Amino acid sequence: MSIIFQVLTLGYKGRLFCNLTITIVENFDAQIFSFLEDDAFINWATNPDEHGNAYWNAWMQRNPDRVEDLLKAKQIAQNLAKAQKPLNTERLSKDIWENIHADIAAPQNVIPIAAKSSERRNYFIAASVAGLLLVASSLYFLFSNHKSSSNPAQQIASVVMDNSLQHTNSTAENRVVYLVDGSKVTLKPGSSIKHAVFLQKDKREIYLDGDAFFEVAKDPNRPFYVYAHDIVLRVLGTSFNVSTNKNTGNITVLVRTGKVSVYKKSNIARAEYILTPNEGIRYMAQTQSIVKPEVDRDFVQSNSKPDAPAFNFNFEETPVAKIFNTLEEAYGIKINYDEKIFSKCVITTSLNDETFDEKLKIICEAVGANYRIEHNEVFAEGNACK
């Protein structure tokens, strides 16, 4: 028997964030959880493609007795994927766990899995993290029955974060990070960003911790969002700087080119400001307010594009294996290939302005190879060069 209940998700200071209907299945067991621990399954459930559909359809034909478990796990994965992904997995896990204990302390707000009543009721849960924490809390009683020595909240957090890529600048110099859509991010020391590996969704979302300069590739069909603590920045194609004062938590934004819409996370329905070139704002963490300071030459200079060594994508008589290694380092995406097959493949090309996908196409076409994307990695295949 399934228990169906509705969760009214409350965001910052009680504002309505979203309304999710979740189906809780009483016989949830280790078999369902095993799907949620499978990166390939999560990738297919949240970002289905032709290859994934073919694989899992064939799997269901081979395992008809487990189809129901697979479909239940797929629904759970999709519910989790709808939630906003925070930057820090450990912090997410801690917040989930604290929220779970708060829910347990208020038994009127939860339905024990052992309950046999057919009555359907609406339960309202206030969470400290919008979206994902509510889903995680609601699923707690399912995961608590899974016989595992690890923290169920950590398991939930890990499942959701599996499908993302994090770049951290642990050096003493600025570092340029390349995104698959053609955008570039210059990270200052100690800063990091997290995003879906191939930015597969209808909007490009980046989670920033620290200071960074963004040069965003134009894509009218997919707006670019930067989540920086309590503010959200929305752009289509532009360049801008974001810096955070580690002592006060204040965030400064300065637009170099294009336009940037600035929102509070607590109210993403209305832009606080729309910034044009050489305009900026400052988010005051203590008062949770956004102000627009007077912009002078010093302000512009202190928030201008930072210098950083960039990758050189001009290749002259360069082995393809070396080019693949350069792309791996620049984008942080694993490229799998047979070194013996490509050992004699050498090309001359310039790949500075192309997206990651365009770069791969040019390389593979030059040597008569092809590539596919699977499990958030690239697999290049072809015949040996003569």
249 and 150 part of one domain: no
Quick one: pLDDT at residue 201?
A: 77
Residue 35 has pLDDT above 90, yes or no: no
Residue 247 has pLDDT above 80, yes or no: yes
Residue 15 has pLDDT above 70, yes or no: no
Provide mean pLDDT across the span 48-54: 79
For strand 231-235 and strand 212-215, is the pairing parallel, antiparallel, or unpaired?
Answer: unpaired
Tell me which amino acid residue 373 is. I
Q: What is the pTM of this model?
A: 0.59
156 and 171 part of one domain: no
The domain boundary, picked from 161, 188, 207, lies at 161
Cα radius of gyration rounded to whole Å, the chain: 23
55 and 126 part of one domain: yes
Residue 140 has pLDDT above 50, yes or no: no
Separation of CA 352 from chain center: 25
Q: CATH number, domain at 284?
A: 2.60.120.1440
78 and 120 part of one domain: yes
235 and 351 part of one domain: no
Quick one: pLDDT at residue 125?
A: 35
d(CA 159, CA 179): 23
255 and 267 part of one domain: yes
Q: Are 167 and 209 in contact (CB under 8 A)?
A: no
Q: Are 107 and 176 in contact (CB under 8 A)?
A: no
Would the CA dihedral through 283, 289, 295, 296 be positive or negative?
Answer: negative
11 and 64 part of one domain: yes
Tokens of 56: 């899992």
Q: CATH number, domain at 331?
A: 3.55.50.30
Strand partners, 373: 378
Has residue 307 been placed in a domain? no
- Nearest by Cα to 88 from 174, 186, 160, 175: 160
Provide mean pLDDT across the span 175-181: 94
Tokens of 316: 């002259």
Tell me which amino acid residue 179 is. L
269 and 374 part of one domain: no
Tell me which amino acid residue 152 is. P
The domain boundary, picked from 137, 161, 185, lies at 161
For strand 224-228 and strand 192-196, is the pairing parallel, antiparallel, or unpaired?
Answer: unpaired
Stronger pLDDT, 114 or 311, i.e. the higher one: 311
Say what percent of the chain tops pLDDT 70: 70
59 and 188 part of one domain: no
Has residue 308 been placed in a domain? no
The confidence band for 23, taking pLDDT boundaries of 50, 70 and 90, is: very low
Quick one: pLDDT at residue 66?
A: 87
d(CA 146, CA 27): 11
Residue 118: domain span: 2-161
Q: Are 232 and 264 in contact (CB under 8 A)?
A: yes
Quick one: pLDDT at residue 102?
A: 52
- Nearest by Cα to 108 from 131, 125, 93: 125
Total tally of structural domains belonging to the chain: 3
For the stretch 344-368, pLDDT in tens is 999 999 998 899 999 999 999 999 9
Has residue 122 been placed in a domain? yes
The rounded mean pLDDT for the chain is: 76
209 and 287 part of one domain: yes
Low-confidence winner among 24-38, 52-66, 179-193, 240-254 (lowest mean pLDDT): 24-38
For the stretch 99-123, pLDDT in tens is 544 544 444 433 333 333 333 333 3
